[in-house]
A and B are shown apart, each in its own frame.
Chain A
């Protein structure tokens, strides 16, 4: 996976039970609709909890990170483009 590490705009559904489902994101002026959330995991960076989402827009795989501390979304990496 190629590292990107860029802050991005994400639309997500915050469902009951602390479930977050990213729906689309914008990267380099292009909107990517998320067709599959294939994996989710959490880790920490200092006292910040980072939520990782492996998502696909139908052609590429992306890793999105939601920093629960500063509420920012980052596109961590992309596979396939």
Chain B
């Protein structure tokens, strides 16, 4: 019964920074900021000691140094974070099979059916927190509530190392003064729209006439009304029950802005190979290829084109992306490039009938076998030799297994 559910939201505290502080004892208790491996220097996350000086995620290093002159910058190690996250999720799954990985450092757990095994939700939280602390030395904040919306809100209320419980009978009292922007799903734009109606708190949102919300926002209006009341019936969906992925894509923020066609082509080929390889590994093929371009002023646009047939061949993906690129008039250098295939279908290995196609498939298969044994890009296209391949950033869509398990550098 949805009304009697017990949902946990577990949020690792300053995850990447905490892992780095555990890895290097010299960094413990100090203000540190984790930055990407790429030469662009945006802060991925920072320690609580740095946050006390006003350093925030997304700041550039110059701005952060102004806030905290003795801030220590640490180049992130994505593989360390994905390993740690995967292990933590395995710990969670020992208490309930209903674990929904929300991002690399957040998960929802439905423990409604597990209480007879472990006693209480608080006991489960205590056990999970203790094991994470013992194994990795890091902490998390946990929210316990009757649904995902409130559990996430609760986990944000005490950081770091907190536990907040919102009981069903306390929902309206707790929400009365909570700013609507604290609710997951209400971004800056929606916050502004609702502010225009004079709605600032969840209490005000819940009391606001739902008809007006529906007229303004359509179906979302009704959802907003229920959010204001703290009602959320969405289930905790474990990975194996999640909807099938709709696309396979990779994007990369380039070390420096590029405008030379040869450079752009080289990165497109690299991205196409990453997309093709992941699609082949998980036996999917896409009919639509999408190219995404971001300029230095952060203007971002995508253009897509559907092919006659499905493909997961890197060269074909590259040629389709190149065709799209040639149809675009670039007005600025490029900061970010992305390639994606969508309109997916399962693609089991079947050798093509025609010799040229057959050769292509055999070549891709042989390359994959070598790369599976010796690592990504061990054998690759000649124009990519000596280039630094692989994903530099952990996508929000990263998951510990399946097609969303993107290997990172």
Q: Which residues of A contact B (CB under 8 A)?
A: 1, 36, 38-39, 41-48, 52, 54, 56, 61, 79-80
Contacts of A1 in B (CB 8 A): 75
Is B23 within 8 A of A38, CB to CB?
A: yes
Is B24 within 8 A of A79, CB to CB?
A: yes
Interface residues of B in 345-377 (CB under 8 A from A): 371-375
Residue in A closest to B81 when the chains form the complex, CB atoms? A41
Contacts of B136 in A (CB 8 A): 39
User: What is the CA–CA distance of A39 and B83 in the complex, to the nearest angstrom?
Assistant: 12
B19 beta carbon closer than 8 Å to chain A: yes
7 smallest CB-CB distances across A and B, nearest first, come from: A39-B23, A46-B375, A41-B83, A43-B79, A46-B374, A45-B375, A54-B23
User: What is the CA–CA distance of A1 and B77 in the complex, to the nearest angstrom?
Assistant: 11
Contacts of A79 in B (CB 8 A): 24, 26
Is B373 within 8 A of A47, CB to CB?
A: yes
Is B372 within 8 A of A61, CB to CB?
A: no
Q: Which residues of B contact A (CB under 8 A)?
A: 19, 22-26, 75, 79-80, 82-84, 136-137, 371-375, 378, 407
Is B83 within 8 A of A43, CB to CB?
A: yes
Is B83 within 8 A of A46, CB to CB?
A: no
User: What is the CA–CA distance of A52 and B84 in the complex, to the nearest angstrom?
Assistant: 12
Contacts of B83 in A (CB 8 A): 41-43
Is B80 within 8 A of A41, CB to CB?
A: yes
A-B contact pairs, 12 of them (CB 8 A): A1-B75, A38-B23, A39-B19, A43-B79, A43-B82, A43-B83, A46-B374, A46-B375, A46-B378, A47-B372, A47-B373, A61-B23
Cβ-neighbour of A38 out of B22, B84, B372 (below 8 A):
B22
Task: With A46-B374, A47-B373 as known contacts, state yes or no: A39 contacts B80, CB within 8 Å.
Answer: yes
Q: How far is the CB of B47 from chain A (nearest CB, A)?
A: 15
Contacts of B375 in A (CB 8 A): 44-46, 48
Task: With A41-B79, A41-B84, A46-B373 as known contacts, state yes or no: A61 contacts B26, CB within 8 Å.
Answer: yes
Contacts of B84 in A (CB 8 A): 41
Contacts of A44 in B (CB 8 A): 375, 407
Is A46 within 8 A of B80, CB to CB?
A: no
Contacts of B26 in A (CB 8 A): 61, 79-80
Q: How far is the CB of A18 from chain B (nearest CB, A)?
A: 13
Interface-centre pick from A41, A42, A54 (highest chain B CB count, 10 A): A41
User: What is the CA–CA distance of A12 and B374 in the complex, to the nearest angstrom?
Assistant: 26
Is B373 within 8 A of A61, CB to CB?
A: no
Is B24 within 8 A of A54, CB to CB?
A: yes
User: What is the CA–CA distance of A41 and B22 in the complex, to the nearest angstrom?
Assistant: 12
User: What is the CA–CA distance of A75 and B373 in the complex, to the nearest angstrom?
Assistant: 22
User: What is the CA–CA distance of A44 and B378 in the complex, to the nearest angstrom?
Assistant: 13
User: What is the CA–CA distance of A78 and B373 in the complex, to the nearest angstrom?
Assistant: 28
Q: How far is the CB of A49 from chain B (nearest CB, A)?
A: 11
Q: How far is the CB of B407 from chain A (nearest CB, A)?
A: 8
Q: How far is the CB of A81 from chain B (nearest CB, A)?
A: 13
User: What is the CA–CA distance of A47 and B368 in the complex, to the nearest angstrom?
Assistant: 12
Cβ-neighbour of B371 out of A46, A52, A61 (below 8 A):
A46
User: What is the CA–CA distance of A78 and B278 in the complex, to the nearest angstrom?
Assistant: 33
